[in-house]
Structure 1
Amino acid sequence: MTTSFNSEQQVVSSDGFFQKLASGVPGVLFTYWLSADGSSHHYPFVSHQVLALFGVDSSTLNETADAVFSIIHPEDAGDLVQTIQDSAQTLVPWRYRARLKLINGEYQWFEVHARPERQPDGSTVFYGQFHNIQHYKDLEQNLRESEAEFSFQAGFQKLMARLSTEFINLGFGTIDQCIEEVLKSIGEFFAVDRAYLYEFSDDYQFMNNTHEWCGDGVASIIGDQQAVPIEDFHWWHQQIGSMVTDNRVVFIEDVDQLPSEATPERSLLKTQGVCSMFCVPIRVRGKVTGFFGVDSLRRRCWREDQADLLIIVSGLLSGALDRFRLEDELLNQSIRDPLTGLHNRRYLMPRLGEMLGRNSRLDEQFTLAMFDIDQFKGINDSIGHLGGDYVLQKFAGILMKKTRPMDIVARFGGEEFIVIFNAVDRSNVRQLVLRMLETVRNDTFIFNGEPVDVTVSVGMASVAEFAEGQPTPDAMISLADNRLYQSKQAGRDCLTDASGTFRL
């Protein structure tokens, strides 16, 4: 009986017994000894899985634990020793996670659980296990990525909804601000360095950078990207052809890897600091009119669906530009005279009001001249209404040729026209108008092969004449109209202003 007991005790106490027991447990079972002063440590027992997993012989670990510590990923080893010492001091169970280097050179996550026990000599023995938790880490990473992707998609949809609402609610004249807001929002959302819009000329020979957003510290290039001749860049010309015919997105992942035929393009992009870029065509009424693009000035990993997302943005811009162009045409139709192409009264009156406001605030001077074609009823009666239309159109052309872009030229009604001369002294305006009268008088008006004698009379009013208060648009026009009547009474083909009636 005693012999049997001693035999069982010997089996239980043998290392072979524990190795057999440990072989049925996932992970690595161990006892870890740490000296009282923390200067030495080893594994009195460690299961043989340590050799299969990490290529470390258990007999080596019986001497020193350094081999296990050497396979810990450097990023995870920072506070390892401190956590062991804290556990040894407080006798609180030790738990730690770290990546360990497998025998194949790959790092995987392991977690250790160990219970410390103080020994009579002051040393500490830890009884525990470390096991592979890579599966859980992968699952955790997948969940984190799924949450991040969900958050990204939700953020993108929210952004598109907000921008779409802004475009839907935009009023006349606000398209530029909306486009700039889109570029800024998209640039910041995708963390790019530039976002921009280019417009092609109708013949696709030139392109203009019309709108641009730049991140902090990123140089603007819009000033250098006006009337850029596309034919000077043969490779880029081919890409534009693909945009136009195939609606293709142009993606340059690495400017340095552009083909040899794109040497001028590579040189220009490197000058602009571009490392990679996307360009997405913009379509208005079915025609590619330009492209929307983003630049990165550094190497980056783009999303696999980056092109698809930018196509959505391009669609938003295309729709907004399409709508704006239609509204602009409708607006032009409403504020332009269809016969002469000049602005009409509907445009003139609010502009005159704005100019009076600027005069009040900034003392900006201007003079209003009202022109009337002399004896226009007689012209209609003699050559017909088509002939009268011809005279109106030709006279409108003379006004446009003799005025500056900063001046306002409008058909006020019938045979009456108004020109507002901006930022010109009124005495100089008188000379300008007198030369215009001379031009009309000496010009050749021929309708159906017959000459038509045409002269005009003018009444002028300067904003400086209203020193006793802020004039209204109606007051200025009324004063000019009264002086026009004086010119008619003086024999026509002349002008009247505050100084009297003049003719050349």
Structure 2
Amino acid sequence: MASKSATDNLDFSGLFRELASGVPGVLFCYEISADASTHRIPFISSRVRDLFGVSPDELLRDASELFNIIHPDDHDAVGSSIQQSFQDLAPWQQQARLRLRSGEYRWFEGHSVPRREPGGSTLWFGQFTDIQAHKDLEFGLRKSEAEAEYQLSFQQLMTSLSSDFINSTIGDIDDKVQTFLARIGEFFGVDRVYVYRFSEDLARMTNTHEWCREGVPELKGSQQQVDITGFHWWQAQTKSVLKQNRVVFIEDVSKLPKEAVAERELLEEQGVAAMFCVPILIRGVVEGFFGMDSLTVRSWRKDQSDLLILAANLLSEALERHRLEQELLNQSIRDPLTGIHNRRYLQPRVEEMMSRFQRTGEGFALAMLDIDHFKRVNDTLGHQAGDRVLQEFGRLLQEQFRGTDVAARYGGEEFVVALASASHESARQALLRILERVRAMNVEFKGRTVPVTVSAGLVHVVDLRPGKLSTDAMVTEADRRLYKAKRSGRDCLVDASGKSRL
């Protein structure tokens, strides 16, 4: 009789279960009935209890408990993949997050091979294993790639905006700032981006530029000359920002401290839930701030402040360059003594008026004014007194005329005023008012009152013959009439109708 081997008495069912428990993954056999109305798990490694707190005996009757631990976001994908394998009898493979006994989710990947049974049911034989380490590596790589792409996109944005500012002209700086705000707002996905400027005494702030996402109400109209003397918390934050080179970041407006009650009320009234503000420094002086709002509380990047500081620095540099260019331009087109425009600026503006008259018939007038007995002031009181008279007269011209008009110092004590969109009579009345205001000017110099009057020659564009229309012709005729006013006793106006004096 043959001797029995050592394995003849082994319980192979029990042995398989022991082997299954030693496999790193979870072995299983999954069954769907022929009519697909029920599903169960005839066999699964005992590790399912240790990992997920699910009883194998419970799964033997109904597999639903195992499906209940699938992450809600992955549930549909798992069901669809099983359905596809059921129809095609193709091997099944799927990744999903499963809930552990601790309550946290980890990524697992399942593999199995289906088999159709004689009775019509379908069995899958396979395993699912923990792939969280692989997922962490994958997510890390994706995050690194996404971060690199984000940083590259930000650098490209800054380069593009810098190029826009460099190529801007003095006349289009506002449009460039508006474009800057829009692109910053869209890049960071916020609801409102803006620039505020402070008054010289830092008591008021004015919204000068603003971009809002579609559907978000604008605030610019209501944010002009806003009194900020009562915003003590805000002012303290601003000072701290300058010292530490950081931004004002309000992550949740509703959680502002008690001392910021005025600031919280204003922001909540505007619907702001979170905000960033970065000072705008021009020549080392805080001139305002650049900021952005979110109407909902949200999570922000850890380096959000650093990115906004870079953006604010770009904006500050652009505004500083614009101011320098404006100053240089003003030096070239403004008279340094009186601050009003000079002949260089006057010529093209009058030519524009002339061109508009020839196209549309819109009338305009030009007057030449000369301060009476100016040499006598210089000779008796000195050139400083003469300069004071010129400055006061220049200031008066700036105050009395409209923004569309042009007042310029022509040379010495002679000034020219070009009145846009003016009839002959309206121009005449405007000049007579100037003569009256000058008589009441009474310039004070070293305790003495210097009486001042002016003579003026006025010409309207219709006074010239059609074939003689030119800027030079108007200036020549105005000068001729000014000379006539001087000869007529000074302190008067001469135009086409003759001498006038109020």
Counterparts of residues 418-437 of structure 1 (less than 5 Å):
418-437=416-435
- Alpha-carbon spacing, 1:328–1:299, altered in 2? closer, same or farther (3 Å): same
Please state how far the C-alpha of 1:316 moved relative to its aligned partner: 0.8
- Counterpart of 1:150? 148
CA deviations on 1:272-321 (whole Å, 9 max, x unpaired) are 01000011111111111111111000111011111111111111111112
Q: Which residue of 1 aligns with 2:264?
A: 266
Show CA shifts across 1:303-361 (max 9, x none). Answer: 11111111111111111122222222222222111222221111212222333344445
The aligned runs of 1:167-182 (5 Å cut-off) are: 167-182=165-180
Higher mean displacement: 22-31 or 75-84: 75-84
Task: Name which of 203, 206, 210 aligns with 1:212.
Answer: 210
Counterpart mapping for 1:98-177 below 5 A: 98-177=96-175
User: How many residue pairs get matched?
Assistant: 502
Give the aligned partner of residue 492 of structure 2: 494
**Whole-Å Cα distance in 2 between the matches of residues 449 and 270 of structure 1?**
56
Contact 1:193 1:296 in 2 (8 A): yes
Match of 1:4 in 2: 4
Residue identity in the other structure for 1:149: E
> How far apart, in 2, do the equivalents of 1:232 and 1:448 lie?
42
Deviations 1:129-187 (A, max 9, x none): 11112222222222222221111100100000111112222222322222111111111
CA distance in 1, matches of 2:351, 2:204: 38
Equivalent pair of 1:30/1:46 in contact (CA under 8 Å): yes
Alpha carbons of structure 1 residues 171 and 469: separation in structure 2 relative to 1, 3 Å = farther
What is the distance in 1 between the residues matched to 2:43 and 2:30?
Answer: 7
Q: Residue 353 of structure 2 contacts residue 420 of structure 2 at CA under 8 Å; is this kept in 1?
A: no
Taking a change above 3 Å as real, the CA distance of residues 212 and 360 of structure 1, as seen in their structure-2 partners, is farther
- Offset at 1:121? 2.2
Q: Counterpart of 1:103 in structure 2: which amino acid?
A: R
AA aligned to 1:463 is V
Q: 1:37 maps to what in 2?
A: 35
Counterparts of 1:62-461 in structure 2, within 5 Å, are 62-361=60-359, 363-374=361-372, 376-377=374-375, 380=378, 385-440=383-438, 444=442, 455-461=453-459
Conserved 8 A contact 1:411-1:418: yes
Question: How far apart, CA to CA, are the structure 2 residues paired with 1:311 and 1:180?
Answer: 18
Change (3 A) 1:268 1:390: closer
Distance 2:255 2:348 in 1: 55
TM-score w.r.t. the length of structure 1 is 0.90
Structure 1 residues 265 and 383: CA distance shift in structure 2, 3 A: closer
| Partner secondary structure for residue 190 of structure 2 | coil
Q: Distance in 2 between matches of 1:481 and 1:339?
A: 23
Q: Please give the secondary structure, in 2, of the residue aligned with 1:109.
A: strand
Q: How high is the sequence identity, in percent, across the aligned residues?
A: 54
**Against the structure 1 CA distance between its residues 403 and 36, is the aligned structure 2 distance closer, same or farther, given a 3 Å change threshold?**
closer
SS at match of 2:111: strand
Distance 1:481 1:10, change over 3 A: farther
CA displacement at 1:454 relative to structure 2:
5.2
- The Cα shift of 1:255 comes to 0.8
Note the residue ranges of structure 1 that are not aligned, 5 or more in a row. none
Superposed CA offset, 1:374-393 (max 9, x none)? 45456555655445434433
TM-score by length of 2: 0.91
Residues 406 and 418, structure 2, Cα contact 8 Å, conserved in 1: yes
CA shift at 1:247, angstroms? 4.1
Q: What is the DSSP-based 3-state SS (H/G/I as helix, E as strand, rest coil) of the residue aligned with 1:174?
A: helix
Moved more, 492-501 or 319-328: 492-501
CA deviations over 1:192-230 (Å, ceiling 9, x no partner): 111111111122111111111111111111111111111
Task: Give the deviation of 1:31 after TM superposition.
Answer: 2.2
Compute the displacement of 1:450 (Å): 7.4
Residues 365 and 240 of structure 1, relative CA distance in 2, 3 Å threshold: farther
CA gap 1:192/1:364 in 2 versus in 1, 3 angstroms = farther
Q: Answer whether contact 2:492 2:500 (CA < 8 A) is retained.
A: yes
Structure 1, 150-159 or 464-473: larger mean CA deviation: 464-473
- In terms of mean alpha carbon deviation, does 43-52 or 427-436 score higher? 427-436
Q: Separation in 1 of the partners of 2:79 and 2:438?
A: 99
Q: Do the aligned partners of residues 67 and 468 (structure 1) sit closer, same or farther apart at CA in structure 2, a change above 3 Å counting?
A: same
SS at match of 1:457: strand
Distance 2:390 2:476 in 1: 22
Distance 1:443 1:56 in 2: 98
Cα gap change, 1:54 to 1:395, in 2 (>3 Å): closer
SS of the residue aligned with 2:4?
helix
Map Cα deviations across residues 225-245 of structure 1 (whole Å, 9 max, x no partner). Answer: 111111122222322332455
1:500 deviates by: 2.5
Inter-partner Cα distance in structure 1 for 2:435 and 2:81: 98
Alignment correspondent of 1:55: 53
Q: Does the 8 A contact of 2:368 with 2:478 survive in 1?
A: yes
